[in-house]
Amino acid sequence: MISQVLRDARKYEETAEKAVAVESRPGFHLSTRIGWMNDPNGFSFYNGEYHLFYQYNPYSSHWDTMHWGHVASSDLLHWRYLPTALAPDMDYDRDGCFSGSAITLPDGRHMLIYTGVEKEIRPDGSTYALQRQCIAVGDGIDYEKYPNNPVLSENNLPEGSSKYDFRDPKIFQKADGSYGCVVGNCDKDRDGRVLLFSSKDGFSWNFERIFAANNGRFGKMWECPDFFELDGKQVVIVSPQEMMPQGFEYHNGNGTLCLIGKIDETTGEFVEEHNQSIDYGIDFYAPQTTLAPDGRRIMIGWMQNWDTCPGNASDRLWFGQMTLPRELSIKDGRLIQKPIKEIENLRQNKVSYENLTFTDVIQLDGIKGRKVDMELSIQPGDEKQIYHKFAVRFAQDGNYQTSVSFRPYEGIVKIDRKFSGSRRAVIHQRRSLVRTKGGKLKLRIILDRFSAEIFVNDGEHVLTVTMYTDQTADGISFFADGAVTMDVVKYDL
C-alpha cells in the first residue's frame, strides 16, 4: 500500500525535475532529483546494482520534513533516479524519515532501517522530538514499513542516554549471519557516543553496549555512525556536531571523525588506536560506506556541510550533491581515500606535460575545463632552494577562481574559494597539514562543474569544496613562487 504522502512526493518529483536542465547539474556526481538533499542513506549493493538513498525534501531547496530519495547505478557514476522510497506517513515518523542504512535479507528482500521522528507537545506547550529506529522492507522500488515499528525506541536505551538524539542506524551482517547495528546518540550533557545493538533476524533488536564514547573529546552529539573492518583493522566513522578545533586536524562546527582500532576479543570492546578527520576541505559531512561485490569498501559523503552551506539556495531548483564515491584502505595506520577506479572509464582527451620548470604563473595548452581529472606531481626546480609556494587555480576567468596551494616549508595545503563568486560570509578557506619531504607533493584534482575534490599524496588527505562559479570560468593555471618542476596529466571527464 502506497500512502498519499508518498504518492504526492512521487508525482511531484516526476513533474518538477523536468525544469532542471542537465547542464545545471554536476556531470557525474549525484545531485538531488529536485529540491533538497543531505546525508547519503542505505548505500548498498542489491540485485546486481548499487542503491543509494538520501535525505530529501522534494518540495523546496531547503531542509524540511525528510523523505528518502532513491537512485541506482551499476558504476557509481551514472545514477538513475527511482521514485521516492520513504515518506513521513506514519505517526512514528510523521516529522521525518531521518538517516539510516540498508541490507539484503536472506530471502532476497531489501531492508531499510531509518530513524522515525515524532514531535510531541509537553503540557507547558514546549515541543520535543522522539527519535526511534524503524524498518521498511522492499524490492528495490517499493518499501513497506514494518507493522511493529519502531524496532528500537527509548525503551532500549541504556541509563543516561538521550531519547531525543538517537538516530542514524547503520546495519551490518556478522560472520554468523546475525546482525549488528550502530546508532548515534549522546548523554544528558550531549556528549556523543555510538550505541551497538544486535539482532538474530534484523527485526527484533537488543542493546549490546556503548561501543565508542566521546568522553568530551570530539564535539558534542555524534551523528551518522558507521562501523566496518578494513585491512585488518576495525573502523568507526562518525560526524560530530559542535566540534572545537585541534591544530589542523579538526575544525569548528560539524566535522567528521574516523577512529581506527581493534575489537578486544575477550570484552568485545572497541579499542581506539588512532583518530583523524576524514575530509580536510570545506564541504563534507555524514559519509556512509558499503562493501562492493569485489571487496572494496566504498564511501560516499554529503558534499556540503551544515556550517558551510552557501545559505542562500532559494533560487535553485536543486541543492545538495554527494561526493565522488571513494575507495578506502588503511596505510601506516591512516585512512586512505582514492576516487573509485570506475572514473577512469570516463577519461578522455589526455594532455600531459613532463618536467616543466617554472617560477611564475603559467597556463598550459589543452589544460582547462570544469569536468576534469588531473594528476600533478611537483618538486623543487632548484635543488639548492625549495620554492615558497605552489598553487593551482581553476574555475578561473578574469574575475573568478578557486585555488589549492601548497607551502612546502609549512607542509600546508590550502583550499580557497573566496574568489569563486560567493556573496556570503561562510567559510571560504581551509588548511590541512600534509606529509611532505623536500618540497615534493602529489595532487589529484577532480573537478565536476560545481565542486573540486583534491586528493593529496595518493589519498592521504582529501579536501573537498563546492563552488557555484559560472561554468564559463573554465581556466586552469599554475603558480610558483620560486622554481617548481611539475609533471601533469589531465583528462576531460
Q: Which residues bind ligand FRU (CB under 6 A)?
A: 38-39, 55, 66, 98-99, 115, 167-168, 223-224, 285-286
Q: Where are the beta strands (DSSP E) in 190-284?
A: 192-199, 205-213, 222-230, 233-240, 257-263, 270-276
Q: Is 39 a catalytic residue?
A: yes
Contact indicator for 66, 87 with CB cutoff of 8 Å: no
Min dist CB 479 to ligand FRU, Å, is: 36
When the beta carbons of 306 and 468 are compared against ligand FRU, the nearer one is: 306
C-alpha cell at position 208 = 549490546
Q: Where are the beta strands (DSSP E) in 27-178?
A: 35-46, 49-57, 67-73, 80-86, 97-104, 110-121, 127-138, 143-145, 161-173
What span, in angstroms and rounded, lies between the C-alpha atoms of 134 and 111?
A: 10
Classify 142 as helix, strand or coil. coil
Classify 91 as helix, strand or coil. helix
Min dist CB 194 to ligand FRU, Å, is: 13
When the beta carbons of 116 and 202 are compared against ligand FRU, the nearer one is: 116
When the beta carbons of 167 and 170 are compared against ligand FRU, the nearer one is: 167
When the beta carbons of 202 and 255 are compared against ligand FRU, the nearer one is: 255
Residue nearest to ligand FRU (CB): 98
Min dist CB 136 to ligand FRU, Å, is: 15
Per this entry, what is the length of the chain?
Answer: 493
Min dist CB 114 to ligand FRU, Å, is: 8
Min dist CB 180 to ligand FRU, Å, is: 19
Contact indicator for 71, 50 with CB cutoff of 8 Å: no
What span, in angstroms and rounded, lies between the C-alpha atoms of 274 and 261?
A: 7
Tell me which amino acid residue 294 is: D
Quickly tell me which residue has 606535460 as its cell: 353
When the beta carbons of 184 and 202 are compared against ligand FRU, the nearer one is: 184
Q: Which of 39, 89, 165, 168 is the catalytic position?
A: 39
β-strands 222-230, 97-104 pairing: unpaired
- Active-site amino acid positions: 39
